[in-house]
Amino acid sequence: MTHSFHPTVLREYDIRGIIGETLGADDARAIGRSFGSMLAEAGGRKVAVGYDGRVSSPMLEHALVEGLNASGMDVVRIGMGPTPMLYYAEASAEDVDGGIEITGSHNPANYNGFKMVFQGRPFFGADIQELGRRSSAGEWVDGSGSVEDRDVIDAYIERMLEALDGIDPASLAGLKVGWDAGNGAAGPALEKLAARLPGEHHLLFTDVDGEFPNHHPDPTVEENLADLRNLVAEKSLDFGVAFDGDGDRIGAIDGEGRVIWGDQLLMVFAEDLLARRKGATIIADVKASRALFDHVAAHGGEPLMWKTGHSLIKSKMKETGSPLAGEMSGHVFFADEYYGYDDALYAGIRLIAAAARLGKSVTELRSAMPPMINTPEMRFQVDESRKFAAIGEIAGRVAASDALADTTDGVRVTTDDGWWLLRASNTQDVLVARAESESEEGLARLVAQIDEQLAESGLERGPQAGH
């Protein structure tokens, strides 16, 4: 037996496709066979499996478990829940050697996919390519494994609540927070969590519905925060928190309805952490504001700019011993008193804890941030064969011009006006551009530099591409 995947589904950080078109039960079974075989050869024996609230998830889970069992893997089924609950099941249990969450994350309802952990580390890049190669070659270990159901949600909630240890509950008694689960997989866990938190909590869309009837579950798109913003205004709440479809990315707004972007949340978390852990390395991706890197340094931390991508960030954290990292996309990773993976529910509790320890409201913390002017993340189509080549050409021209540039991931150029970034997406045939300045005039000059570089490589900034 062999299996070939549709060429679009084996991505850099995960496996993802369209149900009935590029992804189905046979793919899930083959993923189980190949992942199980790779884990067996590394001495592993047991895999935790969870799934999100999409309509297709139970079908994929059934096939995945079959494939894992056929490669001799014992399977621990944790049922439906957010991706970080699967990460928790893998990280906290001594008898579990790997984990797979079936999730389409923030993609449209007809998508689904797989996020994987292999012996405590992210499974991505070359691992995913090897999984594809093994499937095509039928290089599978044969065996028979068992299946057990394990209820981890209550232990997961208890573990997250430890973030409030040492904080006087009386100081949080007047807290008022809004939460928007977006009909994603985090809903049931959020209900259990909110019931245990001090203060007053107002919840939106905790019913899991794979059709996402209220709004798309991507909290980095401002229009998806409209319901949460209305709730915060109507109830005079201190702040609001939103999750993506599988609960590993956080979005937030303050009491005045202002968005707190991923890098701004990281400023709050870093300030809190650095008060206790001077000199710690804080990692953020290349799309993050200069204000964040300056803020980390000002509070005695070591800022480190790294490549975009949750698997790449997690790997860099392990390498550097960093206790905290984050991305503009809302992935926040806590290795400080936690396991080092991205967990939006935990990040929401850490936001409550940080504000309490810093003695300021979330709105005050947001108001203290420098008023940078940014473009949104601009994504535009470019032929797959040109995307990395074009970035290489631009990097070469920038280097020849003596401009101050960072080429960690694409090209990020710093000028007196601020900075601009061009990078190739690892998951789509798009280039991503972003710029930041302290003035509108400065921003216009930076965007003009982006357009100039693109024109020299025979490209232009448009039409915009979605996620």
Instruction: Residue 410: give its domain's CATH number.
Output: 3.30.310.50
Q: Is 383 exposed, middle or buried (0-12, 13-18, 19+ CB in 10 A)?
A: exposed
Q: What are 253-301's pLDDT values in tens digits?
A: 999 999 999 999 999 999 999 999 999 999 999 999 999 999 999 999 9
Residue entry with tokens 């601020």: 418
pLDDT (0 to 100) of residue 461: 80
Instruction: Please enumerate in sequence order all residues whose Cβ is within 8 A of that of 176, keeping only pairs 6 or more positions apart, or say none.
Output: 199, 200, 201, 202, 235, 236, 237, 238
Rounded-to-integer distance, Cα 295 and Cα 289, Å:
10
pLDDT (0 to 100) of residue 467: 44
Same domain, 383 and 338: no
Same domain, 352 and 219: yes
> Percent of the chain beyond pLDDT 70?
99
pLDDT (0 to 100) of residue 464: 60
DSSP state of 301: -
Q: What are 404-414's pLDDT values in tens digits?
A: 999 999 999 99
- The CATH number given to whatever domain includes residue 211 is 3.40.120.10
Residues 320 and 283: beta-carbon distance below 8 Å: yes
pLDDT (0 to 100) of residue 72: 98
Residue entry with tokens 């994603």: 184
Same domain, 142 and 251: no
**Nearest of 275, 255, 254 to residue 265 by alpha carbon:** 254
Q: Which two tokens stand for residue 137?
A: 């070659």
CB atoms within 10 A of CB 256: 12
Partners of 260 in the β-ladder = 252
How confident is residue 463, by pLDDT bands cut at 50, 70 and 90?
low
3-state SS, residue 285: strand
Q: How far apart are the first and last CA of the chain?
A: 35
Residue 316 belongs to a domain: yes
pLDDT at 426 over 90: no
Overall pTM > 0.85: yes
Rounded-to-integer distance, Cα 94 and Cα 82, Å:
21
Same domain, 142 and 36: yes
Output 466 or 292, whichever has higher pLDDT.
Answer: 292
Please give the helix or strand (H or E) that residue 386 lies within, else none.
helix 384-400
Same domain, 241 and 337: yes
Residue 83 belongs to a domain: yes
**Nearest of 199, 206, 287 to residue 247 by alpha carbon:** 206
Options 105, 135, 311, 437, the catalytic residue:
105
Q: What are 189-242's pLDDT values in tens digits?
A: 999 999 999 999 999 999 999 999 999 999 999 999 999 999 999 999 999 999
Residue 45 belongs to a domain: yes
Same domain, 133 and 268: no
Same domain, 100 and 191: no
Same domain, 56 and 137: yes
Output 89 or 380, whichever has higher pLDDT.
Answer: 89
Cα dihedral sign, 119-124-128-129: negative
Domain hosting 383: range is 373-456
Q: Which residue among 367, 383, 412 closes a domain?
A: 367
Average pLDDT of the residues of the chain: 95
pLDDT at 465 over 80: no
Same domain, 377 and 362: no
Rounded-to-integer distance, Cα 35 and Cα 463, Å:
38
Q: Give φ, ψ of 91 to 5 degrees.
A: -80, -30
Mean pLDDT of 15-43: 97
Q: Which residue among 367, 394, 424 closes a domain?
A: 367
Looking at the structure of the chain, the number of domains it has is 3
Rounded-to-integer distance, Cα 20 and Cα 204, Å:
31
pLDDT (0 to 100) of residue 427: 74
Residue 345 belongs to a domain: yes
Catalytic residue check, 34: no
Q: Of how many residues is the chain composed?
A: 467
pLDDT at 466 over 80: no
pLDDT at 48 over 90: yes
Cα–Cα distance list, 130 to 31, 134, 141, 250, 316 (Å): 11, 6, 15, 31, 21
Residue 157 belongs to a domain: no
Q: Which residue among 346, 367, 388 closes a domain?
A: 367
pLDDT (0 to 100) of residue 13: 86
Rounded-to-integer distance, Cα 351 and Cα 268, Å:
8
Residue 411 belongs to a domain: yes
Same domain, 222 and 293: yes
38-69 core/surface letters (b: 16 or more CB in 10 A; e: else) = bbbeeebbbbbbbbbbbebbebbbebbbbbbb
Rounded-to-integer distance, Cα 341 and Cα 121, Å:
10
Residue 162 belongs to a domain: no
pLDDT at 375 over 80: yes
**Nearest of 222, 291, 262, 283 to residue 437 by alpha carbon:** 291
426-464 core/surface letters (b: 16 or more CB in 10 A; e: else) = bebebbbbbbbbeeeebbebbbebbeebbeebebebeee
Same domain, 379 and 359: no
Same domain, 340 and 398: no
pLDDT at 21 over 90: yes
pLDDT (0 to 100) of residue 134: 98
Q: What's at 311, amino acid-wise? A: S
Residue 3 belongs to a domain: no
